Structure 1
Amino acid sequence: MAYPSKITPRSILGVALTLLEADGPDALNMRAVASRLNVQASSLYRHYPDRAALLSAIEAQATLALHTAMSEAGERATTPQARLSAAGHAYLTYATSHPHLYALLLAPRPPAASTLGPGKNLWNLVLGLVGEVSGDPDDTPRTVALWAYLHGFALMSLSGLLGLSGDQGGFQVGLETLITGFGAAEDGAGSHVPAPLSS
């Protein structure tokens, strides 16, 4: 049996991530993690006081991984439009490749004020990418619209609603339509949000 002193937050988190990715959140508990590490469950509590704390650490790690994937994808592109498109594809790839982690990131929760951390950093990344296209560095409306589209498409992909034939290019069509519209905002009325079609 491993000595508890050899157990670190990093090693615990690594095992927890493996369990969650393989079998979902129901498979994740302190006893299962301890068993994989060959220690008593009680030895984990000085690093993570409970399962909720461990889940929070996993969420932060997953958010950082998504941030990295989107950032690196955007860095390989040469125009603002291409950067945003590449980041959008990276988002969908991450969501569909890591379904349990993605579900944890966007699990329902009460509205709360945004605080500094991985989630805020991820938001700022997407906000910046959108702003490069629209010309508004604080373009919250269009960033929300993009995020809603990406999340909706990710859920459709994960649920199997797209069937065996997949999206037939629909994701790219939708993404290009959004990005083109964002660019039109810069060419026309700046960051002005169009009025509703009906009142």
Structure 2
Amino acid sequence: MAAKANPVPSVWARQQSTPDQPALSRASIVREAIAMLDADGIEALSMRKLGARLNAGATSLYRHVATKDELMELAVDEVAAEFTVPPPGGDWRAAATEAAVSFRSTALAHPWVSAVLGQAGLAYLGPNLMAYSERLASLFTAAGFPEPSRAIDTVLAYVIGMSTTEAAWLITVTRSGMSEAEFITGMMPAARQAAADHEHLAEAYADVAAQPAFDPVAIRDDKFFYGLDVVLDGLEMRLPR
């Protein structure tokens, strides 16, 4: 009789097998996978390439991780250990801002992670993500939100969305071989030409071009915090008076 399939599509719902290659562990596989993901992105990661970097065959990896999807789930949870959330009890807006900044910083250090978290269909049951979710729940519950999960979902939707876009932009800049300022400056002539027949866009690009020196990092920071403040302003209106 065939074994019953696991109804939960998550590595955390499957019993870990006993390794027959002591030098190779799930932890070492995940660490190397994260290094590959950080350097080359999701498209470059394969079990064959990962095995080669670990001096092990793909078959050996499958004894620890059944699929690439499981490997991605493990990698996401490992990175989630870097997310920080202040303890509840203080200024909830300051704490939520600190948590959002931590997520964004981690997502930009690991440019692939936001896109993976934004995908539907994965069951994120890892210990680090569960602990992170619990800390967020404690923060927003202590703040007095009658439906803390909705407040959390709203903040995370904004932060994940912004981080995904920002990470993709920075990957494009990195691949160009230029600094961010050089990349923007080089793109400006074509952008101004494309926007010439669009009044508001033309003004926006003209404003950027008129600046003798600009700080792309400061501009990205300003955009992020502007949107975050708008989100938190809206949530604050939902608190009981």
Question: How far 1:88 sits from its partner (Å)?
Answer: 1.2
Question: How far 1:160 sits from its partner (Å)?
Answer: 3.2
Q: What amino acid is aligned across from residue 75 of structure 2 in structure 1?
A: I
Indicate which of 133, 138, 161 corresponds to 1:123.
133
CA distance in 2, matches of 1:38, 1:116: 27
**Is contact 2:42-2:112 (8 Å) kept?**
yes
2:167 paired residue number: 158
CA distance in 2, matches of 1:16, 1:141: 33
Matches within 5 A, 1:1-199: 4-62=21-79, 64-65=80-81, 68-71=82-85, 74-75=86-87, 78-107=90-119, 109-110=120-121, 117-133=127-143, 135-136=144-145, 138-160=147-169, 165=216, 166-167=219-220, 169-186=222-239, 188=241
Secondary structure class of the residue paired with 1:69: coil
RMSD over aligned Cα atoms: 3.2
Aligned length in residues: 178
Secondary structure class of the residue paired with 2:142: helix
**Is contact 2:48-2:58 (8 Å) kept?**
yes
Question: How far 1:118 sits from its partner (Å)?
Answer: 4.3
Q: Which has the larger radius of gyration?
A: 2
TM-score (norm 1): 0.71
**Is contact 1:21-1:101 (8 Å) kept?**
no
Residue 33 to residue 143, structure 1, CA distance change in 2 (3 Å) = same
CA distance in 1, matches of 2:137, 2:23: 41
Residue 56 to residue 170, structure 1, CA distance change in 2 (3 Å) = closer
Residue by residue, what CA displacement relative to the aligned partner does 1:34-67 show, whole Å, maximum 9, x if unpaired? 21111222222221233232222222223x32xx
Residue 55 to residue 116, structure 1, CA distance change in 2 (3 Å) = closer
CA distance in 2, matches of 1:95, 1:157: 9
Percent of matched pairs sharing the same residue: 23
**Is contact 2:115-2:164 (8 Å) kept?**
no
Q: What amino acid is aligned across from residue 43 of structure 2 in structure 1?
A: D
Residue 49 to residue 99, structure 1, CA distance change in 2 (3 Å) = same
Q: Which runs of 5+ in 2 are unaligned?
A: 1-19, 171-183, 185-214
Question: How far 1:170 sits from its partner (Å)?
Answer: 2.9
**Is contact 1:29-1:51 (8 Å) kept?**
yes
CA distance in 1, matches of 2:62, 2:164: 34
TM-score (norm 2): 0.61
Residue 121 to residue 89, structure 1, CA distance change in 2 (3 Å) = same
